[in-house]
Structure 1
Amino acid sequence: MERIIEEIREDLDRRIAVAADRLADRTLAEDPAYAALLGRTELRERIHRHLRQAVDGMVRESRGLPVDLSEARATGTLRAEQGLPLASLLRVRRHGGRLLWQTLTEAVAAHDRAALPRLLPGAAALWDVLEQMTDAASDAYRLAESPRAERDRELRASLLDALLDGTGEAAEAAARLGLPARGRFAVIVLAPPGLPEAGPDPVAPRVLWRNRADGETGLVELGHHPLESVRELLAPSGVRAGVSPVVAEAADLARARRLAALALRASPASTGPLTVLLDERLPAALVAGQPELAGRLRQVVLGPVLALPPEDRRVLLTTLGTWLTCQGSTSYAAQRLYCHRNTVSNRLRRLEQLTGRSLSDPAHVVELALAHAAVVRHASTEQVASRPKPQERPFGPKGPTG
């Protein structure tokens, strides 16, 4: 094999130079990643060097010498640091291997067609050398990519924090995350345990997730999607979530995050929709945002009702809540409560007597509605707090034998 290579060396070098030109042009035309990274001169030189080293490696292997893989490792490291996708690197090397074998057979045939059978044993040697070089480049790429990927994750997290906490220049952080400074954005705040792993949905709005000690948060770039699409996006996961209103400026995302957290707090833990849009729960959100005032509101407005025996208290509060849900219709409330409308009227009159508020006075109805929301939230919070917490397992989710 070495003898054949030496006999055609001058012509082979010329043909390899032509092959490098062809592969460089093909790569720049077909691979945007390479086109954005390298100019034609540099790419052509790299390809030319790779093809010549493959031939030299084949000769070395025929002598029983190890293949020099230092250049392949250096290339793999460099491309990882430059951010070129590994698939692009491997694709060029695969094309280069095929082109090199074609070039080698053409050079041998031009020199002495009768010598072609002597070239066949070299095929296995060439592909072995190419495989060694590709493996060396891939291993070096992955080794260099790990710290780079970690740095990219840390940078992405810090940029998201700057937007969601309002601690940095919003327009610059948005641009570095590939977001417009103006658009249609919303924020999602999830209840524990957060969102299970899932692949991106190509037809759903883009969401950038940030998982921190205080919970998991998603920055949603809505684009043309309605806000309701966030509910559809989260529905399969079965996780509780609060969603902010739409904001138009990246600078408003910190405020949107606070409103999303408030929407989650306004969501009852045991009933109601899993995904709560803030604008659907404004009274409850108002109560959740002012817990001290909410406690005072419960006592001042509904204190006499809360002092009743448990069953009486439950009946009056349920009737008030149903009446409010039915937009003040006694008839509809009676249908929902499976009782006569006169029964509902009698309960409501008793509630008016106990609270000193009239259900015909709009101002009093607002007080009663907010106080009722405060009672519901307080009961929900106590219910969650009273649930037994699962015992911690020091050896992982399956215990010491898992």
Structure 2
Amino acid sequence: MHNFGTPGDSIRWIELVDQLEGRLDKLAQTFTARVREIPEYGESQVTVPEIRDTARETFRRLTHGLRGGEADNGRDGLLAFASDLGSKRARAGIPPESLTSAVRLDFSILWAELLEIAAPDDAGLLASRVDLVWRVVDEFATRTHMSYLTERVRMAQEESSIQREFIARLFNQSTLSAETSAQVGSALGISPDAWCGLVAAGGEAGAGLRAASAQFGSGLQLRHRLFLHESGGTTYLFWPLPAPRATPRGAPVQVPQLPPSLAGIPCGFVPEVHGLRALPAAARTAESLAALIRPNDSGPLSADAAWARLANQNLQDAGLDLAAQVEEALEECRGGERERLMETVRHFLSTGNITVTAEQLFCHRNTILNRLNRFEELTGIDLTVPSQAARLVVAWA
């Protein structure tokens, strides 16, 4: 039995390390076989020869580090090799947990080989050197993992920069060619013909959209992938939607989906945009809807919900104020007649039904008819005619 720390121990330890170094091919083959059992390695773009060659070089550098006093001489080379390995595995798309599983194999394979070549009376020597073996392998594993994470961050930044460039190209062209649409789709990882949802907002709501985007990050493995664009004080977010589902008759129907993080942000919302080429026009629509947001709006505003507001705004921009015309026509009302007429008309516009309106206002049906006739007499608007009723809906939007 060897005594710990004696010159004989050091000599015997170097003998064992020399034997390890003579078995590099066997160590590499064992590692290659076991690492290929990790699914992500078996399916990755890292080839078997590359895994084997890398494993051989890894074990060569590790055994050099096990030489005790000579360990520091090869430490820089070992860590440089670990840094390069971590970077390569990140670029190869190996998941972090798979990389960790692979690197952990180094210690078990080295230690198993040491046990195989050691003599029975080397037990005390191995016990005294287990910390050294673990320390060398752990330092290698830590540097590999740190380099891997650094490279992943760098890749994410590069991807984000490339995506921003292509998204800007997408929004800054009024008419997109099929070629440009395909290029943008390839850069973003979505089909150029994909259905998308889109929102737009400025000010505080725009900041909310940016926060939602930052929360999701690149979103590559999330249900909703949010893509951000900012221009002229307006923030835009868009995301791909699932493929349309087929109806019983076989016609595809798109079911809009709003990411939960956007549900409480008042913004312009276009729920269905078919294809990337339609996004610039949809962005203009969303921006127009965002301009119609009111203080009591608590979430996204779509054209279905705000078409009357949008029409009213466009008419006012053209110098036509329908609401003012109605107000002027009702000026001859006396007492509470104006309020009663407006209340009755608003209820009728929301239901389109005389009987339901009467029930809501606790009035006789004839009373409702009389009020609608009086309103028509004063304003010239017959609410039973859809085109005239729509005029009032827009006026009061």
Query: TM-score normalized by structure 2?
Result: 0.75
**Aligned-partner Cα distance in 2 for 1:330–1:172:** 56
**Aligned-partner Cα distance in 1 for 2:106–2:24:** 10
**Aligned-partner Cα distance in 2 for 1:28–1:162:** 42
Task: Tell me what 1:334 maps to.
Answer: 358
Aligned counterpart in structure 2 of residue 296 of structure 1, from 321, 336, 341? 321
Q: Percent same amino acid at aligned positions? A: 20
Aligned counterpart in structure 2 of residue 129 of structure 1, from 132, 136, 139? 136
Query: Given the alignment of the two structures, is residue 194 of structure 1 paired with residue 170 of structure 2, yes or no?
Result: no
Query: Given the alignment of the two structures, is residue 138 of structure 1 paired with residue 165 of structure 2, yes or no?
Result: no
Assess if the C-alpha contact under 8 Å between 2:17 and 2:66 holds in 1.
Answer: no
Q: 3-state SS of the aligned residue for 2:237?
A: strand
Aligned counterpart in structure 2 of residue 159 of structure 1, from 166, 173, 181? 166
User: How far off is 1:235 after superposition?
Assistant: 8.0
Task: Tell me what 2:194 maps to.
Answer: 183
CA gap of 1:347–1:205, structure 2 versus 1, over 3 A, is farther
Assess if the C-alpha contact under 8 Å between 2:236 and 2:283 holds in 1.
Answer: no
Query: Structure 1 stretch 305-314 or stretch 95-104: which is displaced more?
Result: 305-314
**Aligned-partner Cα distance in 2 for 1:303–1:80:** 71
Task: Tell me what 2:4 maps to.
Answer: none
**Aligned-partner Cα distance in 1 for 2:331–2:89:** 70
**Aligned-partner Cα distance in 2 for 1:143–1:65:** 26
Q: 3-state SS of the aligned residue for 2:44?
A: helix
Task: Tell me what 1:49 maps to.
Answer: 57
User: How far off is 1:173 after superposition?
Assistant: 0.9
CA gap of 1:370–1:192, structure 2 versus 1, over 3 A, is same
Q: 3-state SS of the aligned residue for 2:384?
A: coil
What one-letter code is carried by the residue in structure 2 that aligns with 1:128? R
Aligned counterpart in structure 2 of residue 23 of structure 1, from 14, 21, 31? 31
**Aligned-partner Cα distance in 2 for 1:25–1:306:** 91
CA gap of 1:94–1:311, structure 2 versus 1, over 3 A, is farther
Task: Tell me what 1:395 maps to.
Answer: none
**Aligned-partner Cα distance in 1 for 2:71–2:346:** 90
Could you give the per-residue CA deviations for residues 190-236 of structure 1, whole angstroms, max 9, x where no partner exists?
644525656699999533241634134232323247765525x4389
Task: Tell me what 1:74 maps to.
Answer: 84
Assess if the C-alpha contact under 8 Å between 1:316 and 1:351 holds in 2.
Answer: yes
Query: Structure 1 stretch 194-203 or stretch 16-25: which is displaced more?
Result: 194-203
Task: Tell me what 1:91 maps to.
Answer: 101
- CA root-mean-square deviation: 3.8
Aligned counterpart in structure 2 of residue 230 of structure 1, from 257, 263, 266? 257
Q: 3-state SS of the aligned residue for 1:358?
A: coil
Task: Tell me what 1:361 maps to.
Answer: 385
User: How far off is 1:370 after superposition?
Assistant: 2.1
Aligned counterpart in structure 1 of residue 285 of structure 2, from 259, 272, 276? 259
User: How far off is 1:130 after superposition?
Assistant: 1.4
**Aligned-partner Cα distance in 2 for 1:165–1:290:** 28
User: How far off is 1:47 after superposition?
Assistant: 1.6
Structure 2 unmatched runs, 5+ = 1-8, 246-252
Task: Tell me what 1:207 maps to.
Answer: 225
CA gap of 1:208–1:63, structure 2 versus 1, over 3 A, is closer
**Aligned-partner Cα distance in 1 for 2:336–2:60:** 90
CA gap of 1:120–1:204, structure 2 versus 1, over 3 A, is closer
The count of aligned residue pairs is: 367
Structure 1 unmatched runs, 5+ = 374-402
Assess if the C-alpha contact under 8 Å between 1:16 and 1:100 holds in 2.
Answer: no
What one-letter code is carried by the residue in structure 2 that aligns with 1:3? I
Query: Given the alignment of the two structures, is residue 348 of structure 1 paired with residue 372 of structure 2, yes or no?
Result: yes
User: How far off is 1:326 after superposition?
Assistant: 0.6
User: How far off is 1:124 after superposition?
Assistant: 0.7
**Aligned-partner Cα distance in 2 for 1:370–1:141:** 59
Assess if the C-alpha contact under 8 Å between 1:326 and 1:333 holds in 2.
Answer: yes
**Aligned-partner Cα distance in 1 for 2:389–2:281:** 30
Could you give the per-residue CA deviations for residues 129-183 of structure 1, whole angstroms, max 9, x where no partner exists?
1122222233334444444432222222333344455466112111221211223
Task: Tell me what 2:125 maps to.
Answer: 118
CA gap of 1:227–1:286, structure 2 versus 1, over 3 A, is farther
Could you give the per-residue CA deviations for residues 1-60 of structure 1, whole angstroms, max 9, x where no partner exists?
653343245642343322312322443452436753422222211121112212211214
User: How far off is 1:126 after superposition?
Assistant: 0.9
Assess if the C-alpha contact under 8 Å between 1:263 and 1:277 holds in 2.
Answer: yes
CA gap of 1:288–1:56, structure 2 versus 1, over 3 A, is farther
Query: Structure 1 stretch 81-90 or stretch 14-23: which is displaced more?
Result: 81-90
Task: Tell me what 1:247 maps to.
Answer: 273
